[in-house]
Amino acid sequence: MRTIRLGVLGSGSGTNFQALLDAIAAGELNAQIVLVMSDVPQAGILERAQKASVPYKVIDCRGFTTKFPEEAQLEVAAAMRAAGADLICLAGFMRLIKAPLLNAFPQRVINIHPSLLPAFPGLDAWKQALDAGVAETGCTVHYVDAGMDTGPHILQAKVPVLAADTYATLHARIQEEEHRIYPAALRLIAKMLSLI
């Protein structure tokens, strides 16, 4: 099975990107990360990419703080194509992906979300879960479509909500599961792609 080539988009510290790097280094994921892009010039994910000698770029979102302009999406698609990415993996990327990028990589954009979707889509899902008083939450790896965390699920992991949980402790336990299932989901996708 050939090595799958991954492009990564992130807006934050890049812990899921690091989990992918670690899985590759441990021989648990037959992949190469060919490009990391961030809409936040000072994002930790870019520092991690630099430290790991992975090519990286900043996305020009034309001054918008939350919107992902079409021009920027086209530029991301072109950069990912030029880098030879098979899949685009979102790792804490905080903008909605729309047609320009989805059309360029149909059914090839993957996200990890910190809840058991369809419950608690959107921002701060662990806070939503704790505030709702649910007994369990978790995380979901899913294909990205034009909706907010609405694409088909690939893999999920459950995390119990403990009586003593704070936002921080619950989020930390969810992240442990994210770091486990994201590489596992990509292994499943790589197997499927090798059959096409």
Q: Which residue of the set 113, 142, 171, 179 is catalytic?
A: 113
Answer yes or no: 171 catalytic.
no
What are φ and ψ of residue 143, in 5° steps? -70, 145
Contact of 27 with 189, CB cutoff 8 Å = no
Are 91 and 17 spatial neighbours (Cβ–Cβ below 8 Å)? yes
Q: Find the angle CA(140)-CA(17)-CA(160) to the nearest 5 degrees.
A: 35
Q: Give the Cα separation of 37 and 65 in Å (integer).
A: 16
Pure H helices in the chain = 15-25, 44-51, 70-83, 99-104, 125-132, 167-195
Active site residues: 113
